């Protein structure tokens, strides 16, 4: 009798997931097992983190930070969408203004891909101020 197939069938998962869970329960840090039990991370993600035993908690911390950032961004976007607001900047002028930043300013930019619906470009107030001070960034309303 193939016990793993029976377990997988009862649980409604693949035998691969049964194997992964067995390995996770054996090799993962307790904190990672807890997040798996609460559904915070997927079986596959937790299993992938086993490849770097000394970095499991770092992976978990990074995952949590990304989830938190994505949640915050989605909340902010939802507020703007509900107000029917579009960004106040002309995209062409914005691209030109970004291109004219000096090398020190460009090195200081944090650029990251986030998973949010739609086409979105977010700017911090500090960056908006720096671009506006160049005199090249014109608001659509101007």
Q: What are the helix and strand counts (H, E) for the chain? A: 8, 0
Q: Where in the chain are the domains?
A: 1-85, 86-142
Q: Spell out the residues 6+ positions from residue 114 whose beta carbon is closer than 8 angstroms to its own.
A: 69, 70, 73
Predicted confidence band of residue 140 (pLDDT cuts 50, 70, 90): very low
Over residues 3-24, the pLDDT tens digits come to 888 888 888 888 999 999 999 9
pLDDT, tens digit (0-9, with 9 covering 90-100), for 37-86: 999 999 999 999 999 989 999 999 999 998 888 888 888 777 766 655 45
* Burial classification of residue 131, based on how many CB atoms lie within 10 Å of its CB (0-12 exposed, 13-18 middle, 19 or more buried): buried
Per the document, the length of the chain is 142
Residues with Cβ < 8 Å from 88, sequence gap 6 or more? 139, 140, 141
* Residues ≥6 apart with Cβ < 8 Å to 139: 88, 89, 90
Band (pLDDT 50/70/90 cuts) for residue 138 is low
Q: How far apart are CA 41 and CA 71, in angstroms?
A: 15
pTM, two decimals, is 0.55
Q: Residue 126: pLDDT above 60?
A: yes
Question: What letter does residue 115 receive in the DSSP assignment?
Answer: -
3-class SS of residue 41: coil
């Amino acid at each position: 009798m193939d016990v793993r197939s029976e377990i997988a069938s009862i649980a409604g998962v693949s035998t691969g997931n049964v194997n992964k869970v067995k390995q996770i329960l054996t090799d993962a840090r307790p904190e990672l097992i807890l997040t798996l039990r609460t559904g915070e991370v997927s079986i596959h993600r937790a299993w992938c983190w086993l490849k770097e035993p000394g970095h499991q908690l770092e992976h978990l911390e990074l995952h949590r930070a990304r989830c938190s950032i994505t949640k915050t961004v989605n909340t902010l976007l939802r507020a703007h969408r509900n107000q029917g607001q579009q960004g106040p900047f002309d995209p062409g002028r914005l691209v030109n203004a970004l291109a004219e930043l000096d090398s020190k300013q460009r090195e200081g930019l944090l650029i990251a891909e986030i998973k949010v619906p739609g086409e979105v470009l977010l700017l911090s107030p500090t960056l908006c101020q720096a671009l506006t001070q160049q005199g090249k960034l014109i608001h659509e309303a101007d």
